[in-house]
Amino acid sequence: MVSASGELTLERAIAEFDPSAYQAFEHQATEQREETLRRYPREHWREMTLEEYAQGQEGHPENFCRWIERQTDQMGSIRGGSARKLIIYKHRDKPGWYFPPDYETERVAWNAVREGFIHAFDFADRQRWDEIDEIEPLTRGAALLTKVLWVYFRNDLLPITSSENLRHFLRVAGRGDVAADQSIRTIRLNRELLAALRNHPKLAEASTKALERMLYMRFSPFEGRLVKIAPGRDARFWPECRAESYICVGWEAVGDLRQYESKEAFLAAFREAYGDTHATEAKLKEKADEVWLLLDLAVGERVVANKGTKEILAVGTIESPGYVWNSDRETHNHTLKVRWDESYATEFPPQPYWAFKTVLPLSSKVRARILGEVQPQDSGEDQPAPPISEEEPLFRRVAAALERKNQAVLYGPPGTGKTWHASGFARWWLQSRNASAPAIHPAAAPSVGGDRARAWLVTTRPSEWRWDELFDKGEEQFRRGRLGRNYEIISPGDLVFGYTATPEKRVEVLARVARLVEANGNPTFVLVPLTRVAEGPTWDELQADEFLRVSEPVRNRMQGTLFQLLPDETKRLMAVIAERDPEAAATATTSSVETPVPDEYSGAPWVIVGDSDLSFGRRFVV
How much is the pLDDT for 384? 34
- pLDDT value for 488: 82
What is the model's pTM? 0.49
3-state DSSP call for residue 125?
Answer: helix
β-strand 495-500 against 455-460: which pairing, if any?
parallel
- Residue type at 58 in one-letter notation: E
CB 151 within 8 A of CB 120: no
Rg of the chain taking only CA atoms, in angstroms:
28
Q: What pLDDT is attached to residue 201? A: 94
140, 89 contact by CB (below 8 A): no
CB atoms near residue 179 (< 10 Å): 22
Residue 58: count other Cβ atoms within 10 Å of its Cβ: 7
pLDDT confidence of residue 387 = 37
Q: What angle do CA 232, 274, 334 make, to 5 degrees?
A: 40
Taking 50 as the pLDDT cut, the residues of the chain under it are 1-7, 374-391, 413-416, 434-453, 592-622
Instruction: State the DSSP code for 348.
Output: -
Do 245 and 468 meet the contact criterion of CB atoms below 8 Å apart? no
CA distance linking residue 570 with residue 560, whole number of Å: 19
- The answer to whether the CB of 571 falls within 8 A of the CB of 550 is no
